[in-house]
Amino acid sequence: MLKKSSRVLPGFTLSLGLSVFYLSLIVLLPASTLVLQAAEMSLKEFFQVVTDPRLMAAYKVTFAGAAIASILNAIFGLLMAWILVRYEFPGRRLIDSLMDLPFALPTAVAGLTLAALFAHNGWVGQWFDVAGIKISYTFYGIILAMVFTSIPFVVRAVQPVLEDLSEEYEEAAASLGANKAQIFFRIVLPHIGPALTIGTALSFVRSLGEFGAIIFIAGNMPYATEVISLMIFTLLGEYNFPAASAVALVILFFSLVFLMLIQLVQSYYAKRYKSV
């Protein structure tokens, strides 16, 4: 009796039923349509489509871009979160709320703005141009767009955990003779590790699928700066629904694998923390 009343939501079966129904409607139904559309092809055709050389080049660009972008986000997102949590300075609240801007802004607007800013005659781009570095319409532009659209994942994941980590631990470590690097790597990093990993992985998965921001800045040159989401768009332009679905499934597959890995990391840390 006591156990039952401790749950806020009514009846296990009812809530489970509702959740499963909702999940089916919102997630499984669209996903299964994708499979159905792709199923118009034989397995051989499927592999032929998804391993087309131009697509292979696009996978390479997309995965490499997402990897670099998420590593950059891990480093600078952590720094950002650290500053927001540990320092009090004028404009801190403003910067804190600006952190969500990439989520709020339509990605196409972000792409257009970034492309203009970093074009060889743009406000920022002209200075890079002097040094011979082109950003808009190159691979760097893709990374830039991916960084922009997914940095909040890292910041917002790490921030609350950092807030939890009281400075006393660091002071205690310092009083025992630990240097700054030791404090960071042995006290701070293990504590925020799971959140940082999850934030980075989410940023990676998001970058894989990003379309709006990227197509405006990528230049979209075949074999050089085409991303997977553009290839799907292109295939749709040819009314080739099965092929588009097939490519979408490939990206979906990799995203699911990464999401599962995140789950594994999360449960690994959860267990470790429990045993401590």
Instruction: Check binding of 52 to other proteins (CB under 8 A).
Output: yes
Q: Judged by CB, which is closer to other proteins: 82, or 128?
A: 128
> How many residues in the shown chain lie near other proteins by CB under 8 A?
30
Q: Is 136 in the site for other proteins (CB under 8 A)?
A: yes
Query: Among the candidate windows 68-76, 80-88, 114-122, 250-258, which touches other proteins by CB under 8 A?
Result: 114-122
Q: How far is the CB of 6 from other proteins (least distance, A)?
A: 46
Crossing angle of helices 43-50 and 241-275, in 10° steps, is 80
Contact 198, 157 (CB under 8 A): yes
- State the sign of the Cα–Cα–Cα–Cα dihedral 156, 157, 163, 166: negative
Q: By the 8 A CB rule, do 152 and 70 touch?
A: no
Closest CA to 268 of 194, 206, 172, 209: 194
User: Which one of the spans 64-72, 78-86, 220-228, 265-273 is the region binding other proteins (CB under 8 A)?
Assistant: 220-228
Q: Is 244 near other proteins (CB under 8 A)?
A: no
Q: Does 236 bind other proteins (CB under 8 A)?
A: yes
Given 70, 203, 220, 229, the residue binding other proteins (CB under 8 A): 220
Position among 7, 54, 92, 180 found at the interface with other proteins (CB under 8 A) = 54
Query: Which 148-207 residues touch other proteins, going by CB under 8 A?
Result: none
Q: How far is the CB of 198 from other proteins (least distance, A)?
A: 33
CA 61 to CA 56: how far, in whole Å?
A: 9
| Residue type (1 letter), 247 | V
Burial class of residue 240, CB neighbours in 10 A (0-12, 13-18, 19+): middle
Q: Give the relative orientation of helices 228-237 and 53-86 as an angle to the nearest 10 degrees.
A: 130
Among 6, 8, 43, 53, binds other proteins (CB under 8 A): 53
Q: Which residues bind other proteins (CB under 8 A)?
A: 49, 52-54, 115-116, 119-122, 136-137, 215-216, 219-224, 230, 233-240, 243
